[in-house]
Structure 1
Amino acid sequence: MIVERAPAKLNLALHVRRRRDDGYHDLETLFVFARDGDSVSVAVGAPSLTITGPFAAGLDAGADNLVARAELAFCAQFGVTAQHTITLDKHLPVASGIGGGSADAAATLRALATLHGIAHDDAQLIDIAATLGADVPACLLGRAAFGDGKGDALTTIPGLGDMPALLVNPGVAVSTAAVFARWDRVDRGALREGGSFGDDGTLAWALAGRNDLQPPAEQLAPVIADLLALLAQQAGVRLARMSGSGATCFALFDDENARDAAARAIAAVHPAWWRLETAIQ
Structure 2
Amino acid sequence: MANRAFAPAKVNLALHVTGQRQDGYHLLDSLVVFVGIGDRITVSKADDLSLTVTGPRAAGVPTGPENLVLKAATLLRGDQPLGAQISLEKNLPAAAGIGGGSSDAAATLRALAALWQCDLPNDNGLSLGADVPVCLTAQSCRMEGIGEQITPLPNLPTLHMVLVNPGVEVPTPVVFKGLASKDNPAMEALPQEPSTLGFIAWLGRQRNDLEPPARAHAPEITAVLDAMAATDQVLLHRMSGSGATCFALYPSMEAAAAAAIVLKQTNTDWWVASGQTGSFA
1:173-194 deviations in Å (ceiling 9; x for gaps): 11111111111225331212xx
The answer to whether structure 1 residue 217 and structure 2 residue 210 are counterparts is: no
Alpha-carbon separation, structure 1, partners of 2:81 and 2:162: 42
Letter in 1 for 2:210: L
The CA deviation at 1:199 is 2.2
1:136 to 132, 136, 149: 132
Alpha-carbon separation, structure 1, partners of 2:251 and 2:156: 11
Question: Match for residue 226 of structure 1?
Answer: 223
The answer to whether structure 1 residue 199 and structure 2 residue 192 are counterparts is: yes
Alpha-carbon separation, structure 1, partners of 2:187 and 2:160: 24
Q: What is the percent sequence identity of the aligned residues?
A: 44
TM-score (norm 2): 0.92
> Conserved in 1, the CA contact under 8 Å of 2:208 and 2:239?
yes
The CA deviation at 1:141 is 1.1
Alpha-carbon separation, structure 1, partners of 2:80 and 2:249: 42
The answer to whether structure 1 residue 28 and structure 2 residue 29 are counterparts is: yes
Structure 1 unpaired stretches of 5+: none
The CA deviation at 1:56 is 1.1
1:19-70 deviations in Å (ceiling 9; x for gaps): 2211110110000000120011111114310011111112111111100100
TM-score (norm 1): 0.92
The CA deviation at 1:80 is 2.9
The answer to whether structure 1 residue 167 and structure 2 residue 163 are counterparts is: yes
Sort the Cα spacing of 1:38 and 1:23 in 2 relative to 1 into closer, same or farther, 3 A. Answer: same
Letter in 2 for 1:198: P
Alpha-carbon separation, structure 2, partners of 1:257 and 1:100: 25
Question: Match for residue 64 of structure 2?
Answer: 62
The answer to whether structure 1 residue 237 and structure 2 residue 262 are counterparts is: no
1:255 to 252, 255, 263: 252
Structure 2 residue matching 1:247: 3-state secondary structure = coil
> Conserved in 1, the CA contact under 8 Å of 2:19 and 2:184?
no
The answer to whether structure 1 residue 279 and structure 2 residue 276 are counterparts is: yes
Letter in 2 for 1:81: P
Question: Match for residue 12 of structure 1?
Answer: 13
Alpha-carbon separation, structure 2, partners of 1:100 and 1:274: 14
Sort the Cα spacing of 1:184 and 1:63 in 2 relative to 1 into closer, same or farther, 3 A. Answer: same
Question: Match for residue 117 of structure 1?
Answer: 117
Question: Match for residue 179 of structure 2?
Answer: 183
The CA deviation at 1:125 is 2.3
Letter in 2 for 1:87: S
Letter in 1 for 2:191: G
Number of residues of Structure 1 aligned to a counterpart in Structure 2: 272
The CA deviation at 1:11 is 0.3
The CA deviation at 1:233 is 2.4
Letter in 2 for 1:2: N
Alpha-carbon separation, structure 2, partners of 1:126 and 1:36: 28
